[in-house]
Structure 1
Amino acid sequence: MNNASDSESLRLAALSRYDVLDTPREQAFDEIANLAAALCRVPIALVNFIGDGRQFFKAEVGLGVRETPLESSFCAKALLEEEFLYVADARADPRFACNPLVTGEPHLRFYAGALLKTEDGVAIGTLCVLDYEPRSLDDVQMQALRVLARQTMAALELRRAMKSAEAERARYSALFNAIDDGFCIIEFFDGPHGPLSDYVHVEANPGYERHTGIRDIVGKTLREVDPTDADRWIELYGTVLRTGVPTRFERYFLTAGRHIEVSASRVEPQSLRQVSVLFRDISARKKSEEALRASEALARQNILRVQLALAAGAIIGTWFWDLPNDRFTVDEAFAEAFGLDPAQGHDGLSLAQVIANVHPDDRQDLIAAIEQAIARGGHYAHQYRVRRADGLFYWIEANGRVNHDANGKPLTFPGVVLDVDKRRAVEEERDRAAASLRTLNDTLEQRVAERTAELMRAEEQLLQSQKMEAVGQLTGGLAHDFNNLLAGVSGSLQLLSIRLSQGRVADVDKYVVAAQGAVRRAAALTHRLLAFSRRQTLDPRPTDVNALVNGMTDLIQRTVGPGIRVEAVGATGLWPALVDSGQLENALLNLCINARDAMPDGGRITIETANKWIDRSAAISHDMPEGQFLSLCVTDTGTGMTPDIIAKAFDPFFTTKPIGMGTGLGLSMIYGFAKQSGGQVRIYSEVGQGTTVCIYLPRFYGDVDREALDQNASPISGTEAGETVLVVDDEPSVRMLITDVLEELGYTVIEAGDSVTGLKLLQSNVRIDLLISDVGLPGGMNGRQMADAGRQTRPDLKVLFITGYAENSVIGNGRLEPGMQVLTKPFALETLAARVRQLVDG
């Protein structure tokens, strides 16, 4: 074979692989031909493949035919070139001067063609341009033809790859759908239950529905299909995904209600997160296996029964009854069991002779059972009593079988006799025990109720004991602190009286200051106790906690000193909270002081805020409701706390500080404040590592009023308009003080000592610009109820509640109504005057 033949064979083989000859036009090749004609500015462009004796144009511009003979082909000559054939004027080129396409129609003069070569260098055609006039191409145009030729081969390779892939897909689809077993491919994804906590069915064959009964599985997730057992399937297939080790198992598919046999393996690469699953329904096999096991178990039981009966001598005789002749033949043991003569048993007995010694009470039932067995044929079993030679009756069980002929006529009735006397005795004992148990059970509920009541009484006594112990601890601490404060007040007042009687007024101020200081400390102690018991009077308002923290950072830094660095980290987009901002500031400062005391050698305090979603499990562990909260956490790098210290940290008067360094009410106050605000406090600590205390507060769904007035910002002033204030308080000393202060400031004051008198005044025509009322009042109504009733006739009435302790149900858990405020006793008279002026002006 010469070189030309070899080249042609290679070319034809390559064209066969590409399967391009005689195929319809395709856009990719048409676009290349059009681009070649446009770039070279010629009327004709061809994507040409040289076949056996012809050239086929996969794409053509300006020619109008799809193939031509090879004899007059320019492209056949181009195959002899290395990569490019360039003919500027065919008439001047001896190779083409006599070509009929040059000398005759269509009178071609110009040709330029770039060879189309396979990856192994076999030329299979050309990308060529032609013209009816002589012309030339510049370097850019010639390079463009070469690039487009390579693009043509790339398109051809892509075409072959796509056809191959399509064929492969068709083969895969045919195989996929032909598999009788169920088959699917699952793809894991990260779900709400965690990473790789769910998967979706991305492919499934028809066998899936046949073997599970589940239709349209593609696109459905595991937790849609089988939410009850989802975690177990995730564990099985997730192990295959992680390890790449195939698995094989049998399992009951709850949703499908079938047993399936499964083989699973990972689809590579692992990054696909896919597992292929091949399975079949083996429910029928499982039922057969179960039936076989049950049958085998029954057979074993029957064999065991016979073996035990024979071993224990339970079978005490046999019989054979010739029914047409009414002739019993029995063995010696049967005759002894029935109190008969053994010799007669061999000769033959009638039914009447056999049942002569049956207990009279059992005889009729026995005859009826025998007649029924003879009539129907088959198995027979009956228990009754017979009298033996000793004159006593014993329980026996007769087991036999009645055999009929082809016409249904009874023929024979063989059987055995079992001794069941002991078994009957056991059953009677069991029945007596069951009756006793029923009697016991009938009285069980009553006895349980009595025992439960006894336990509840013991629990109440224990709780009362614990409560009294806690009250003792609380009252002891209160007595100690309040006695100290009362000593200061009493001593100061006594010395003040002595100095005034002596006329030594120069020393009066220091005793007044000392008494006022003791009163303020007593008020602070009372507030802390009320906060701990969650009974303090709060004034909750929408609060920007980030702004509150930022506003206190400098104060906290000055308080803890230069040896401790204070950092504030506020969460972006922090939700507002409905909280008493003053109490929250106290709580934050208290936590920072505790953190300072835990770092005697200096350290760092970090104040952080964050939005928190408390789900059900977190709510249970934190002892708080589910929902949206924001957290305010103070973290130190101090000594930390042991678990037993953490357990007592919120107890009143519990402190680890030296005597005189702390009251033990700080954390208990913070705990009570957080719980009263609908939140929680939690301590996280590690000895030697530091402590974090987090206050959780409920999210407020609304906007924060950033223009709220600072009550301490405006100076205290009286009135020039002569406004009238109604003061209602059952404590005369309090009414006197309030009246004196307000009259000093120019207000007209009306007093009332109970709610009835106060309401009469509110319902009268007297001018009243402001109501100041205690919350707890005699007269059948509290202060809130009186104010609400007064607003029926005076809807714009301004109200200031003053209280030392008020139930939240009285002043409201949320915000007070417009025009209402609350002031906690004891209070500074300046504060009272400022609050009155604010309400009157507002």
Structure 2
Amino acid sequence: MHDGDRAPPAGPVLILTPTGRDADVAAGLLAAEGIGTTVVPTLKALQAALDDTAGMVLLADEAVIGADTSVLAAWLAAQPPWSDLPFVVLTRAGTAVRRPTTGTNLAGTLGNVLFLERPLQALSLVSAVKSALRARQRQRQVRDYLAAQVGAAERAAALLEERVRERTAALEAADAERRQMAAALAQAQKMEAVGQLTGGLAHDLNNMLAGIIGGLSLMQTRLAKGQITQLDRYITMAQHAAHRAAGLTHRLLAFSRRQTLEPKPTGVNRLVTDMLDLVRSTIGPGITIETALADEPWLTLCDPHQLENALLNLCINARDAMPQGGRLLIETANTHLTPDAAARLREAGPGDYVTLGVTDTGTGIPPEVIARVFDPFFTTKPQGEGTGLGLSMVYGFLHQSGGHVQIVSDLGQGTTVRLYLPRHDGAEETTAAGPAPLAARPLGRHETVLVVDDEPAVRTVVTEVLRTLGCEPLEAPDGPAGLRLLKSSPGVALLVADMGLPGGMNGQQLADAARRERPGLKVLFITGYAEATRSRGGWPGPGAQVMTKPFALDALANRIRELLPGP
């Protein structure tokens, strides 16, 4: 027998021939060919012996005809995709021909099957078994090839995963380094901005304090010598410097969006019309002023005095950009910002806005300067000619009012600054008559007023004004003391309270507690920093007003008259 006729080692041949000597004969023939065999006595034993190591099955048909082959069929159906176990079935003469009529479909049950009729011929049996074993060996080669491919794929996937992990770790390390560098840069920029802010603030405040301290010192010197001439000059000098310092703090609070605003329904056309004379006198005759006002502008809810200051600041900047003269255009319009348009403005939200624009035909602003124009104390003017707080105040006021500011500039062509203020549905408030001076007559009746402030100088100023008005002032340094004094003094008609009070109770909490004791009690808040109440809806509430420190004594007296009208 040639080597090519030998069956490859494909595993044992399982033999089930329950009758006769077929099993012994077949086992002897196959052993002579070097093929291992395992003889099983029953179908149940065959089913128990089946596994992936089996090479093939040599089966007599009488072992399965009429038997329950469900377990065998289930095992065959559950074979892995590479496996199709070969069967050689020994039949009696004519059985294969009659099989479709017997009710036992062995071909359908076994699948990969070859029928041999008995009596057996040694050559046919050996040839059929070798053919089946070669087919089984090819199946296992396919299995091994697929396993090798899967293994290679798994190794490639593992290698790729490892490289991905290494790359991810490298990217995370780079990102962490980038974030660390960005944080360091941001900290450096923040410290530079803080240094610029404190340096500019110290410079301007020192100049103002020099005027205040100098004026007071000169007055003290003259009074010590018994000289009272020119005292009004020094008083005016000190007051002027103090007002400038107050204006500086207001601008700082506006930039930081912490100023105390008094928003009112405001018509921008009326505001522009009322401001035109002041703008003309400020910018001078060398600049032509034009207006383009909307026919029916919407109202906006904002502090009209701050909007006037913003408009005046923009007009002054436009004047400075046109030293040889030019044209100044003030325009108003109703504008609807779509989400795309709002996104182009970066910090604006979509919706309806009233716009107030100021356009000049001046020198324009370089791009690198536009990026910094809202920084506090940043100015392109020579030292001493500008504080650098004008546009920062405009920026803070607009954002605190829910609006936005946009600057568009072309070098040599001019600049447009446009303010976006949210639309307000309501009626415009009319301007009240001007306040009466402090020297006017008292209230005409005796009222008790409780003053609560932790600063003794402020309490002294307020109580002196109250006495001038004919009121009886009561003083307390903090909220709890003020509440105790209120409970022991039933005649209190007005509470004047600072917003920032020590003792665990701020001005708003004091007013709430006081009104629980005295419903309808009038309240006047005096504050220089109302951050604690900025987000409260409807603040300061009915029967209450607010004044920003520092305030003029005339303004304080007239605000008290509004809350405590005379008979």
* Residue 531, structure 1, aligned to residue 247, structure 2: no
Q: Secondary structure at the match of 2:230?
A: helix
For residue 740 of structure 1, the aligned residue among 445, 455, 464 is: 464
In 2 relative to 1, CA 612–434 (structure 1 residues): closer, same or farther, beyond 3 Å? same
* Residue 545, structure 1, aligned to residue 268, structure 2: yes
In 2 relative to 1, CA 355–704 (structure 1 residues): closer, same or farther, beyond 3 Å? farther
For residue 657 of structure 1, the aligned residue among 381, 394, 402 is: 381
Shift of residue 753 of structure 1? 1.0
Q: Secondary structure at the match of 1:365?
A: coil
Shift of residue 553 of structure 1? 1.3
1:654/1:664 contact within 8 Å kept: yes
Matches of 1:639 and 1:370 in 2, distance apart? 101
Partner of 1:98: none
For residue 673 of structure 1, the aligned residue among 393, 397, 411 is: 397
Read off the aligned partner of 2:225 and give its amino acid letter: Q
For residue 689 of structure 1, the aligned residue among 387, 390, 413 is: 413
For residue 515 of structure 2, the aligned residue among 791, 813, 825 is: 791
TM-score where L is the length of structure 2: 0.74
Shift of residue 495 of structure 1? 2.1
Shift of residue 595 of structure 1? 0.9
Q: Alpha-carbon deviations, 1:224-246, whole Å to 9, x = none? A: xxxxxxxxxxxxxxxxxxxxxxx
* Residue 610, structure 1, aligned to residue 333, structure 2: yes
Matches of 2:445 and 2:192 in 1, distance apart? 57
In 2 relative to 1, CA 558–808 (structure 1 residues): closer, same or farther, beyond 3 Å? farther
Range with bigger deviation, 408-417 or 666-675: 408-417
Range with bigger deviation, 719-728 or 430-439: 430-439
Matches of 1:759 and 1:615 in 2, distance apart? 51
Q: Alpha-carbon deviations, 1:10-30, whole Å to 9, x = none? A: xxxxxxxxxxxxxxxxxxxxx
For residue 290 of structure 2, the aligned residue among 547, 567, 580 is: 567
1:784/1:811 contact within 8 Å kept: no
Shift of residue 725 of structure 1? 1.8
2:438/2:553 contact within 8 Å kept: no
Q: Alpha-carbon deviations, 1:349-387, whole Å to 9, x = none? A: 959958659xxxx994143787999x999x99748xxxx
Q: Alpha-carbon deviations, 1:126-151, whole Å to 9, x = none? A: xxxxxxxxxxxxxxxxxxxxxxxxxx
Matches of 2:378 and 2:286 in 1, distance apart? 27
Q: Which runs of 5+ in 1 are unaligned?
A: 1-328, 340-348, 384-397
Q: Secondary structure at the match of 1:801?
A: strand
For residue 234 of structure 2, the aligned residue among 483, 487, 511 is: 511
Partner of 1:778: 502
Partner of 1:287: none
Q: Alpha-carbon deviations, 1:621-640, whole Å to 9, x = none? A: 22122222211111111111
Matches of 2:505 and 2:166 in 1, distance apart? 52
For residue 52 of structure 2, the aligned residue among 349, 359, 365 is: 365
Partner of 2:524: 800
Matches of 2:85 and 2:362 in 1, distance apart? 88
1:492/1:514 contact within 8 Å kept: yes
Percent identity, please. Answer: 50
Within a 5 Å distance, the mapping from 1:453-492 to structure 2 comes to 460-492=183-215
Read off the aligned partner of 1:509 and give its amino acid letter: D
Q: Alpha-carbon deviations, 1:147-179, whole Å to 9, x = none? A: xxxxxxxxxxxxxxxxxxxxxxxxxxxxxxxxx
For residue 825 of structure 1, the aligned residue among 549, 553, 559 is: 549
1:540/1:815 contact within 8 Å kept: no
1:382/1:399 contact within 8 Å kept: no
* Residue 767, structure 1, aligned to residue 491, structure 2: yes
In 2 relative to 1, CA 772–336 (structure 1 residues): closer, same or farther, beyond 3 Å? same
Partner of 1:724: 448
Partner of 2:65: none
Q: Which runs of 5+ in 2 are unaligned?
A: 11-28, 38-48, 59-71, 89-95, 108-112, 115-127
Matches of 1:376 and 1:790 in 2, distance apart? 91
1:380/1:399 contact within 8 Å kept: no
Read off the aligned partner of 2:258 and give its amino acid letter: R
In 2 relative to 1, CA 330–672 (structure 1 residues): closer, same or farther, beyond 3 Å? farther
Shift of residue 746 of structure 1? 2.3
Read off the aligned partner of 1:473 and give its amino acid letter: Q
Matches of 2:280 and 2:184 in 1, distance apart? 49
Matches of 1:700 and 1:355 in 2, distance apart? 99
TM-score where L is the length of structure 1: 0.51
Matches of 1:796 and 1:494 in 2, distance apart? 46
Partner of 1:631: 355
In 2 relative to 1, CA 713–495 (structure 1 residues): closer, same or farther, beyond 3 Å? closer
Read off the aligned partner of 1:665 and give its amino acid letter: L
Read off the aligned partner of 2:353 and give its amino acid letter: F
2:405/2:417 contact within 8 Å kept: yes
2:56/2:86 contact within 8 Å kept: no
In 2 relative to 1, CA 451–811 (structure 1 residues): closer, same or farther, beyond 3 Å? closer
Matches of 2:31 and 2:81 in 1, distance apart? 16
Range with bigger deviation, 490-499 or 538-547: 490-499
Shift of residue 801 of structure 1? 1.1
Read off the aligned partner of 2:54 and give its amino acid letter: I
Q: Alpha-carbon deviations, 1:93-133, whole Å to 9, x = none? A: xxxxxxxxxxxxxxxxxxxxxxxxxxxxxxxxxxxxxxxxx
2:438/2:557 contact within 8 Å kept: no
Within a 5 Å distance, the mapping from 1:264-343 to structure 2 comes to 332=4
Matches of 1:610 and 1:546 in 2, distance apart? 9
Q: Secondary structure at the match of 2:516?
A: coil
Matches of 2:532 and 2:281 in 1, distance apart? 36
Matches of 1:702 and 1:749 in 2, distance apart? 39
In 2 relative to 1, CA 435–512 (structure 1 residues): closer, same or farther, beyond 3 Å? same
Partner of 1:69: none
Within a 5 Å distance, the mapping from 1:422-501 to structure 2 comes to 424-425=147-148, 427-428=150-151, 430-431=153-154, 460-501=183-224
Matches of 1:363 and 1:351 in 2, distance apart? 20
Read off the aligned partner of 2:471 and give its amino acid letter: Y
Matches of 2:548 and 2:244 in 1, distance apart? 14
Matches of 2:399 and 2:406 in 1, distance apart? 11
In 2 relative to 1, CA 335–448 (structure 1 residues): closer, same or farther, beyond 3 Å? farther
Matches of 1:486 and 1:492 in 2, distance apart? 10
Matches of 1:654 and 1:437 in 2, distance apart? 54
Shift of residue 796 of structure 1? 2.4
Q: Secondary structure at the match of 1:367?
A: coil
Partner of 1:594: 317
Q: Secondary structure at the match of 2:488?
A: coil
Matches of 2:446 and 2:85 in 1, distance apart? 116
1:495/1:511 contact within 8 Å kept: yes
Q: Alpha-carbon deviations, 1:58-114, whole Å to 9, x = none? A: xxxxxxxxxxxxxxxxxxxxxxxxxxxxxxxxxxxxxxxxxxxxxxxxxxxxxxxxx
Is the strand fraction higher in 1 or 2?
1
Q: Secondary structure at the match of 1:632?
A: strand
Greater relative contact order (CA < 8 Å, ≥ 6 in sequence): 2
> Is the radius of gyration larger for structure 1 or structure 2?
1
Q: Alpha-carbon deviations, 1:757-798, whole Å to 9, x = none? A: 211232334322222111111122111111122122322222
